[in-house]
């Protein structure tokens, strides 16, 4: 309680300290890199510098607008890499700043770092090596409305919402939050993170001095604590802060929080995610130059460590296409490979590890790897298609902070194996199937749970988009199957406990073991006749031909990409030209009067 009170006092004083703070002249690119004592500038000057870096250093710096704020200001991510326009099989690291508009100085540190990466490439060997072997992303201003002071209290966005309580992993309506991912800024950063393949992330703040790591919502060690705590301690040791003036601790032990950005990154995606508090509000003895100088060695250490441990590429055994796969190290939260190349990266200390690789619609593989200190072990995987589709990611979950349950959300992923996540009395969870569920005659999806009984009832919903709207599938108890009944692109499943059980006990709420759907192969040729649709050649380089279209009275044909996005909807035909499509996996659905048949297509 003492710590909480002190933090509140610091925050209140911090508002006063920075309310009259003025920025220095914008330095743009004209700067003495060895004596960078001036501020970059205000939020508009920061935006100008982002444009300037991307324009002046196009070979190593790329600007991506990932979304806009409530007031319509750009949220900008800068990418730094030697092949900046190519998605390479390199470790990806995300550095985020200024999620709270009242915490001045993090955004200055961000842009000074961005500028240094550009100016010192090819002259500083460490920076050159990092840019040549990593993909480094910097979001300098997560909350442009807050930094502009659009809300009277600069901390939240223009809607008055604290964005660092608005993410969906263990969201709990903290600080009057209306619902998870309610804000355009949190949606934008969530979707950006989901679209990439980050394995290390650091979110920078001001208000304390220290590095903080999961869990934030509860006091237990996170499953990857041995590695995450090690990296946090290394950050402390390598940084330039005075001895004993930089805290290293779990978020819960400093200030319990629900809905934090780093909690989503780690809990949902297995990203090693940290918060770094750069300075005390009430003791602004460091200017932004000193803050960069003190943190730069530790940042560069984290960038280096992101490439150590294990790495590899996961591909389809037939087509060689990269797969978005789930990477499970025994006893830890799963992480994921990238969708474009199928590359994965995960920091591990020296040891021997059992690793399981799985992807929806493919047979899993397990192997044992040996990892040495300060090195990387490379292991590639080629997965074989099979008939099992299952939930792959946790997007949202709320168990009302039931500290009496271990809340192992990842146990709800993959195929049914008897292990489960207790979603909490009146709790809920949203899972991503990674591909649209195929609608066939009869049941399409199965929610796997433990034994039926009071307290184990639920209602299930589906949606084609991550935030809904949600359509009810119906209610169930224990393991129950449902028919999506003609729904197109049903990819996200929401499961809500019905509230008939007991709160805050071990195993409270529905016990979710898995969410599975029928396979593509099982859904092919579901017509009442014995005839089938022949699709050839498959894999294809160009035109795809169909037999029996007229005989089976097919009326229309739809083509979806592997993410479930409809890319073609046409009347029945005997061929489709795939030559203009990029290589990868696609789904074709043939619609007759009463039936739908689906086939998976490989485009080479």
DSSP states of 322-386: B---EEEETTS--EE--TTT-EEEE---SEEEEEEEE-TTB--EEEEEEE-TT-EEE--EEEPB-
Mean pLDDT within 447-467:
85
Going from the C-alpha of 459 to that of each of 333, 471, 486, 499, 573, the distances in angstroms are 26, 11, 19, 11, 40
User: Within the chain, which residue ranges are assigned CATH 2.60.40.3080?
Assistant: 524-603
DSSP β-ladder status, 471-477 and 457-463 = antiparallel
Token pair listed for 433: 């199937």
Going from the C-alpha of 14 to that of each of 20, 104, 281, the distances in angstroms are 11, 10, 5
In the predicted structure, residue 200 carries a pLDDT above the cut 70: yes
Per-residue pLDDT of 277-315, as tens digits, reads: 998 875 456 677 789 999 999 999 999 999 999 999 999
Show Cβ contacts of residue 300 under 8 Å, excluding neighbours closer than 6 positions: 126, 127, 130
Query: What pLDDT is attached to residue 526?
Result: 32
Banded pLDDT at 216 (limits 50, 70, 90): very high
Query: What pLDDT is attached to residue 446?
Result: 94
Give which of 354, 346, 380, 173 is closest to 266, Cα–Cα: 346
Beta bridge partners of 493: 431, 462
Banded pLDDT at 366 (limits 50, 70, 90): very high
Q: Which of 301-310, 496-505, 582-591 has the lowest mean pLDDT?
A: 582-591
Show Cβ contacts of residue 8 under 8 Å, excluding neighbours closer than 6 positions: none
Residue 440 near residue 431, CB atoms below 8 Å: no
Determine the length of the chain: 604
> Homologous superfamily of 389-519 in CATH?
Galactose-binding domain-like (2.60.120.260)
In the predicted structure, residue 7 carries a pLDDT above the cut 50: no
User: Within the chain, which residue ranges are assigned CATH 2.60.120.260?
Assistant: 389-519
Q: Could you tell me the pTM of the whole model?
A: 0.82
Of 265 and 443, the structure prediction assigns the larger pLDDT to 265
Banded pLDDT at 504 (limits 50, 70, 90): very high
CATH of 2-302, one of 3.40.50.300, 3.90.650.10, 3.40.630.10, 3.40.50.10490: 3.40.630.10
> Homologous superfamily of 318-383 in CATH?
Carboxypeptidase-like, regulatory domain (2.60.40.1120)
Average pLDDT, the chain: 87
Query: What pLDDT is attached to residue 390?
Result: 94
Mean pLDDT within 208-228:
97
Q: CA-to-CA distance for 59 and 128, rounded, in angstroms? A: 13
- The distance of Cα 162 from the centroid of its chain, to the nearest Å, equals 19
Per-residue pLDDT of 312-344, as tens digits, reads: 999 999 888 899 999 999 999 999 999 889 999
Q: CA-to-CA distance for 496 and 449, rounded, in angstroms? A: 13
Q: Using the structure block, give the residue that is written with the tokens 């988009």.
A: 465
Query: What pLDDT is attached to residue 129?
Result: 98
Residue 602 near residue 538, CB atoms below 8 Å: yes
Per-residue pLDDT of 142-198, as tens digits, reads: 999 999 988 767 899 999 999 999 999 999 999 889 999 999 999 999 999 999 999
Q: CA-to-CA distance for 92 and 224, rounded, in angstroms? A: 19
Q: What is the CATH number of domain 524-603?
A: 2.60.40.3080
Banded pLDDT at 527 (limits 50, 70, 90): very low
In the predicted structure, residue 539 carries a pLDDT above the cut 90: no
Q: CA-to-CA distance for 15 and 9, rounded, in angstroms? A: 10
User: Within the chain, which residue ranges are assigned CATH 3.40.630.10?
Assistant: 2-302
In the predicted structure, residue 13 carries a pLDDT above the cut 50: no
SS3 string, 39-91, reads CCCCHHHHHHHHHHHHHHCCCCEEEEEEEECCCCCEEEEEEECCCCCCCCCCC
- Dihedral sign, CA of 254, 258, 264, 270? positive
The number of CA neighbours under 13 Å toward the Cβ of 523 is: 30
Q: Which of 36-40, 434-438, 551-555 has the lowest mean pLDDT?
A: 36-40
Give which of 204, 216, 207 is closest to 171, Cα–Cα: 216
């Amino acid at each position: 309680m003492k710590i909480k009170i002190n933090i509140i006092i610091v925050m209140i004083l911090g508002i006063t300290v920075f309310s009259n703070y003025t920025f220095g002249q914008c330095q743009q690119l004209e700067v003495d890199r060895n004596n960078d004592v001036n501020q970059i500038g205000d939020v508009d000057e920061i935006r100008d510098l982002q444009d300037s870096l991307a324009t002046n250093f196009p070979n190593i710096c790329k600007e991506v607008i990932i979304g806009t704020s409530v007031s319509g200001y750009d949220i900008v991510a800068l990418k730094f890499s030697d092949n900046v326009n190519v998605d390479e099989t390199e470790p990806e690291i995300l550095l985020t700043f200024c999620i709270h508009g009242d915490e001045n100085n993090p955004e200055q540190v961000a842009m000074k770092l961005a500028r240094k990466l550009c100016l010192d490439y090819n002259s500083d060997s460490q920076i050159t090596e990092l840019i040549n072997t990593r993909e480094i992303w910097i979001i300098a201003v997560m909350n442009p409305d807050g930094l502009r002071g659009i809300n009277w209290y600069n901390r939240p966005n223009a809607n008055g919402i604290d964005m660092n309580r608005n993410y969906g992993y263990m969201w709990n309506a903290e600080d009057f939050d209306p619902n998870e991912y309610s804000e355009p800024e949190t949606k934008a950063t969530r979707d950006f993170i989901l679209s990439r393949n980050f394995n290390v992330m650091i979110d920078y703040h001001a208000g304390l001095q220290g590095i903080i790591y999961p869990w934030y919502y509860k006091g237990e060690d996170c499953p990857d604590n041995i590695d995450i705590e090690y990296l946090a301690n290394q950050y402390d040791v390598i940084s330039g802060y005075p001895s004993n003036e930089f805290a290293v601790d779990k978020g819960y032990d400093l200030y319990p929080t629900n809905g934090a950005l780093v909690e989503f990154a780690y809990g949902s995606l297995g990203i090693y995610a940290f918060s770094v508090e750069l300075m005390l509000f009430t003791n602004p003895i460091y200017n932004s130059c000193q803050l960069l100088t003190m943190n730069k060695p530790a940042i560069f250490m984290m960038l280096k460590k992101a490439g150590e441990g294990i790495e590899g590429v996961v591909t389809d055994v037939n087509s060689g296409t990269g797969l978005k796969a789930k990477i499970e190290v025994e006893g830890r939260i799963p992480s994921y490979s990238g969708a474009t190349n199928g590359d994965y990266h995960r920091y591990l200390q020296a040891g021997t590890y059992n690793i399981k690789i799985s992807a929806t619609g493919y047979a899993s593989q397990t192997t044992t790897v040996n990892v040495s200190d300060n090195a990387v072990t490379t292991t590639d995987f080629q997965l074989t298609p099979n008939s099992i589709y299952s939930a792959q990611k946790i997007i949202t979950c709320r168990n009302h902070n039931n500290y009496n349950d271990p809340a192992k959300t990842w146990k709800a992923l993959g195929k049914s194996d008897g292990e489960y996540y207790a979603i909490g009395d009146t709790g809920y969870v949203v899972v991503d199937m990674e591909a649209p569920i195929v609608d066939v005659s009869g049941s399409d999806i199965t929610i796997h749970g433990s034994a039926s009984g009071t307290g184990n009832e639920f209602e299930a919903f589906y949606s084609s988009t991550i935030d809904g709207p949600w359509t009810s599938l119906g209610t169930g108890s224990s393991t129950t199957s449902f028919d999506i009944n003609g729904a197109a692109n049903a990819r996200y499943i929401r499961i809500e406990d019905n509230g008939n059980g007991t709160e805050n006990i071990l195993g409270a709420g529905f016990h979710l073991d898995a969410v599975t759907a029928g396979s593509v192969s099982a859904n092919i040729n579901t017509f009442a006749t014995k005839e089938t649709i022949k699709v050839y050649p498959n894999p294809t380089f160009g035109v795809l031909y169909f037999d029996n279209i007229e005989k089976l009275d097919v009326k229309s044909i739809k083509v979806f990409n592997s993410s479930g996005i409809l890319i073609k909807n046409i009347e029945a035909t005997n061929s489709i030209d795939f030559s203009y499509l990029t290589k990868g996996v696609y789904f074709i659905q043939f619609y007759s009067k009463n039936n739908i048949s689906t086939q998976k297509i490989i485009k080479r």
